[in-house]
Amino acid sequence: MSVTPPQPPFKRVPPHTWTALAWLVGSALTFLFRFRLPGEAQPAQQGVLFFRWDGLAMLALATVLAFAGGHRLHRSPLAGLSLILLAAVGASTTLSVAEIPLLQFVAADVAVYLIAASRPRRTGLAALWLALGTLAGYLLTRLAFGWVVGTSAELTVALTAVVAWLLGDAAHQSRRHAEQLREQAAAQAVTAERLRIARELHDMVAHSIGIIALQSGAARRVIATQPERARGALGEIETASRETLSGLRRMLGALRTPEPGRAKESAPLDPGLGLADVDRLARTTTAAGVRVDVRWLGELRPVPPEIDVSAYRIIQEAVTNVVRHAGTGSCRVTVDSRDDELAIEVLDSGPGGEAAADGGAGTADGGAGTAGDTAVDSTGYGLLGMRERVGLLHGEFSAQPRPEGGFRVAARLPVPAGVR
């Protein structure tokens, strides 16, 4: 079971804490700038109202408004921002300045950023215009009373609000894009899992059904004249049925109870099959009436499990198509184990390939199926499933009629360096 990693510490801080910190830092610097610091001829800012009781009372009231606005940001962002802007206006009246200073507007900038980052763009734009409108209204009010205004300084403060909105909007768009990518990845994972289950079901059931069909037909023909042979065919049918049922049970068990710490899509559906089972597959198919000659070239060395299972499934499906559709009594399977790849080839000389030739040859390199696919596999998914397996392993695949007659299925599966 996967565990979601905890968020970084700064993301766990509530929004009102950021606005409160911004207001407190701005107030602390404003207080500090009222004194002559080392190296200065005079204090950076002056104003007699700042140290009077009425000035301190207004600063305290502004602080209460700023904190209350920060708490309302989560429930009602524009109302909370309005309280913070009102606090900035009130605090500036005790500072003997001609504009709303930047230090008193930092909390409003933080609020604009938080709204733009967490709310729809329309709400973020409304917050920006509310902040800019407050700055403009402050200047127009002072002009209406004939007071001096600090237009240049106020334009700088307005620029910080615009920058705060741009950063917040960028964060909002980035989060939306990340959510879309996660949704797309989840949808692709579900589709890939459905295709994987479909391939496993097809490969598991199609071969067994083909063997059962051959054996049951043989038993029906000889049951009156050769009861012993019919009994043997029925035994083969029973064995194939039990193996298929066992495989289905393993598949359902893998889907229901994946290993701890592993996702369902990575749990093997039938982990017991591989190239080591090719000879047994050949014996079973030969006993059903279609002789399978297996040729091993090179030294068969260990390969990754996904290559081992896919190679077996490709051979199994190709042999199943021979049994069901080729109309021949034999086929040849060649497995060539090379240094950097595993090559597989299944050849038959039956007339079924002629129908495939009329419909068009199969494509290579994991391409889409053609009309020839259904001529070889009546379900329409056999060659497609093989192409998907090879494509997932970045290999090459071809399935097409042979010029001399019959059909050829070939696959090349690259083996990662270092595995050998």
Note whether 25 and 155 are same-domain residues.
yes
Note whether 281 and 165 are same-domain residues.
no
Q: Is residue 238 part of a domain?
A: no
Given 166, 184, 202, the domain boundary residue is 184
Q: Is residue 257 part of a domain?
A: no
β-strands 330-337, 291-297 pairing: parallel
Q: Residue 299 — pLDDT band, cuts 50, 70, 90?
A: confident
Q: Is residue 1 part of a domain?
A: no
Give the integer Cα–Cα distance in Å for 295 and 24. Answer: 81
Which two structure tokens, joined as six digits, stand for 142?
Answer: 């002072």
Count of structural domains, the chain: 2
Give the integer Cα–Cα distance in Å for 10 and 381. Answer: 52
Question: DSSP letters along 18-39, please?
Answer: HHHHHHHHHHHHHHHTTS--TT
Give the integer Cα–Cα distance in Å for 215 and 289. Answer: 8
Q: What do you get for the CA distance between the two ends of the chain, in Å?
A: 33
Give the integer Cα–Cα distance in Å for 297 and 231. Answer: 37
Give the integer Cα–Cα distance in Å for 158 and 162. Answer: 6
Q: Is residue 264 part of a domain?
A: no
Tell me if the pTM is above 0.75: no
pLDDT for residue 389: 82
Given 169, 184, 199, the domain boundary residue is 184
Note whether 295 and 147 are same-domain residues.
no
Helix (H) or strand (E) holding 59: helix 53-72
pLDDT for residue 386: 84
Q: Is residue 203 part of a domain?
A: no
Note whether 155 and 278 are same-domain residues.
no
pLDDT for residue 10: 60
Q: Indicate if the pLDDT at residue 375 is higher than 80.
A: no
Given 184, 199, 217, the domain boundary residue is 184
Could you tell me if 376 and 383 are in contact, meaning their C-beta atoms sit under 8 angstroms apart? yes
| SS3 state of residue 291 | strand
pLDDT for residue 391: 85
pLDDT for residue 119: 92
Note whether 304 and 166 are same-domain residues.
no
Q: Is residue 80 part of a domain?
A: yes
Q: Whose CA is closest to 23, among 47, 52, 59?
A: 59
User: For 27-59, what is each residue's pLDDT tens digit?
Assistant: 888 777 766 667 665 665 555 555 677 777 888
Q: Which residue has the higher pLDDT, 1 or 187?
A: 187
Give the integer Cα–Cα distance in Å for 311 and 329. Answer: 23
Q: How much of the chain, in percent, has pLDDT values that exceed 90?
A: 29
Q: Which domain holds residue 349?
A: 274-420
- Provide the residue count of the chain: 420
Domain CATH for 354: 3.30.565.10
